[in-house]
Amino acid sequence: MIKQIKFVSVPVANQDRALDFYTEKLGFTIITDQPFDDKQRWIELRVPKAETRVVLFTTDDDKNRIGTFMNMSYTCDDLQKTYEELRKRGVEFENPPKKEHWGNFAIFKDSEGNRFVLGD
């Protein structure tokens, strides 16, 4: 039976720029970075202390997804602290942390313009 999500693919236009963003700004680690075809590499990253992986890869049919709102979210232990640390690293946020009746969140953009929810 299914036991977990192995990876989530994030559409990117520039793999080098995205790799720098995810490793240098978000602190992800590289699991795999190898040629895939003559246009792209297969770049698989590990989120610190998590099982789920992030893949920086875009099929030709999904290029229209680059720079859109991602149907996934990240979580952290302390939203305000994480928000402040990521801003120091140059991560762009659409809003500071907000408290809603359903939880706390902030929305940030990656190097490709993809938008993600970050919550605690």
CATH number at residue 101: 3.10.180.10
Does residue 72 fall inside a structural domain?
yes
Q: Which two tokens stand for residue 3?
A: 């036991």
Does residue 76 fall inside a structural domain?
yes
β partners of residue 103: 100
**pLDDT tens-digit series, residues 68-80:** 999 999 999 999 9
**Average pLDDT score over the chain:** 95
pLDDT (0 to 100) of residue 5 = 84
- Provide the domain count of the chain: 1
Confirm if 27 and 48 have CB atoms less than 8 A apart.
yes
Does residue 2 fall inside a structural domain?
no
Cα(54)–Cα(82) distance, integer angstroms: 19
Does residue 91 fall inside a structural domain?
yes
Domain membership of residue 89 as a residue range: 7-60+67-119
Distances (CA, A) of 56 to 33, 40, 66, 115: 10, 10, 11, 14
Does residue 1 fall inside a structural domain?
no
**pLDDT tens-digit series, residues 1-33:** 778 888 999 999 999 999 999 999 999 999 999
Q: Which two tokens stand for residue 83?
A: 């928000």
Q: Which two tokens stand for residue 58?
A: 């875009």
Confirm if 29 and 45 have CB atoms less than 8 A apart.
yes
pLDDT (0 to 100) of residue 4 = 82
